[in-house]
Amino acid sequence: MSSQIKKIFSDTVIYTIGSVFNRFLPFLLLPVYTFYFPPAEYGIFSLVYSFWFFVSVFYLYGMETAFQKCFLETDDYESKKGIYSNTLILIFSTSIIFSAIIYLLADFIAEKITGTTQNAYLIRLLAVILVADSLYRFPMILINSIQRSKLYSFLNMIAVVLNVAVNLILIINYKFGIEAIFYSYLVSYIFLFIISFSSILKYFKLFINYSFIKNLLKNAHLFLYYGIFLISIDLIDRFILEYFKGSAVVGIYSASYRIGIVMNLVITGYKVAWTPFFMNLKGEEGNKEIFSKVFTYFWYGGLIVFLFFSFLADDLVKINYAGYTLLNEKYWSGLVIIPYILLAYLFSGLYLNLNVASFFKNKIKYLIISSAAGCISNILLNFLLIPEYSITGAAIATMLSYFIMFAVLYFYSQKIYKIQYEWNLIFKAILLTAILYSVNFYIPKILNLSYIHSILIEILFVCFLFVYLMGKQTINLLFSLKRNKA
């Protein structure tokens, strides 16, 4: 069992380093974006970006998960080739149609989401990006499905470098506006598709098999609803914030939201590793014990990341280097949301752990029910909290929505595939984290500590939590690696 657990966490580290560059880039480039773009302009970018991620759900219509599920469930090489080839042909065909519609309706869409047709050029550019965005995913999913984690991460890391370079050149050298961000994505997506497609060319054959397409669509339509609900939870708060508070507040909120992406990077890297990991354990004896232990360690890691960045994010983003800070001063009012966003991402990661039951028992409806509960609660909570509490209300709404989603899926998954989770250990870890988080508010004031001493206390608390939760496991892992080398 220990080797299996080491496998999932080592793969998570590899995938986290190299994956999800489309999410990580705004974090890497946050100092540039917040320095060169005022909050209102960055708010426009955030609204178009949110529209992008929402509409991409329809471009993919559940095919990402359906493809991986079908691909992993067959052992026949020719069938794997047929599933991949037909998925890529289908996605390319439908993406061209969808993008043509968006391109023609650019003025209408721009006015609805940004309030003016002047931003229609961004929508037209987005229509082109969406084709490349949809296509590059499937060669990368295939690479992930055959568990070539190092290749997957290496390709993403190259794309990160390319995207950052194009951003810097266009924004700093050529003084482009926010359209530079979109051009950079387009360049990196095209590059990533060409390289990833070429690396697994043996799986592609230009032919259409309607039985493959029918089976893919049969699985995909369920994941489409699931995807719509999930993406709505992530994005709808921007549009409600814009309605009540304006685009400048959306810009401040979105920039601070990016700080919480550190937790999301771990979650997304884990997600990439998790699906092929648990699917390959289907039918294995003792797999429930493995899933339970992974769940416990996931809690531990998530709580450590939460405590570290809740304490130190505020200080890290204000460090000045050559005139730049990670977050420009005009955005600092949004830092109050970081703890809520970190917890929201933690609950979303815990939710992923519960997908095992739905996949193993073919009960995808429970994913739909739980994500629908999260989406509905998110909309209601945003309308309830944003008018009074602004960006803090939006962040709390997101956190509570993910918790509700997790709780609903936990209830259903335990009914169909009961796993004995180590809640006694988990509750102790939660209690200790809550105590350290709460005490940290009062110690500097009571003892009248200096800024440096306060930072040292925060680091000490994080180290204590890490050693308490992960110390034994880390030592065992190091000894294991040492034995393997010997």
Backbone torsion region of residue 246, taken as left when φ is above 0, otherwise alpha when ψ lies between -120 and 50, otherwise beta: left
DSSP letters for 242-287: HHHH-HHHHHHHHHHHGGGHHHHHHHHHHHHHHHHHHHTTTT-TTH
Higher pLDDT among residues 200 and 475, named by residue: 200
pLDDT number for residue 312? 86
Lowest mean pLDDT among 138-147, 321-330, 377-386: 321-330
Whether residue 432 is predicted with pLDDT greater than 90 in this model: the reply is yes
Whether residue 481 is predicted with pLDDT greater than 50 in this model: the reply is no
Domain ranges of the chain: 2-421
Q: How far apart are CA 303 and CA 466, in angstroms?
A: 9
pLDDT number for residue 451? 77
pLDDT number for residue 485? 44
- The mean per-residue pLDDT over the stretch 19-38 comes to 72
pLDDT number for residue 11? 56
Whether residue 260 is predicted with pLDDT greater than 50 in this model: the reply is yes
Q: How far apart are CA 436 and CA 450, in angstroms?
A: 19
Higher pLDDT among residues 316 and 246, named by residue: 246
pLDDT number for residue 478? 46
CA Rg value for the chain: 23
Mean of pLDDT over the chain? 87
Furthest-apart CA atoms within the chain: distance in Å: 72
Determine the residue type at 130: L
Q: How far apart are CA 199 and CA 436, in angstroms?
A: 48
Whether residue 1 is predicted with pLDDT greater than 60 in this model: the reply is no
pLDDT number for residue 6? 59
* Residue 159, H or E segment: helix 149-168
Determine the residue type at 256: S
Sorted by sequence, the CB contacts under 8 Å of residue 107 that are 6+ apart come out as 117, 120
Whether residue 475 is predicted with pLDDT greater than 60 in this model: the reply is no
Q: Is residue 321 classed as helix, strand or coil in its secondary structure?
A: strand
472 — pLDDT class (breaks 50, 70, 90) = low
For residue range 164-195, list pLDDT tens digits in order: 999 999 999 999 999 999 999 999 999 999 99
The single residue listed with the structure tokens 């989603």 is 405
480 — pLDDT class (breaks 50, 70, 90) = very low
- The mean per-residue pLDDT over the stretch 223-228 comes to 88
Cβ–Cβ under 8 Å, residues 78 and 85: no
255 — pLDDT class (breaks 50, 70, 90) = confident
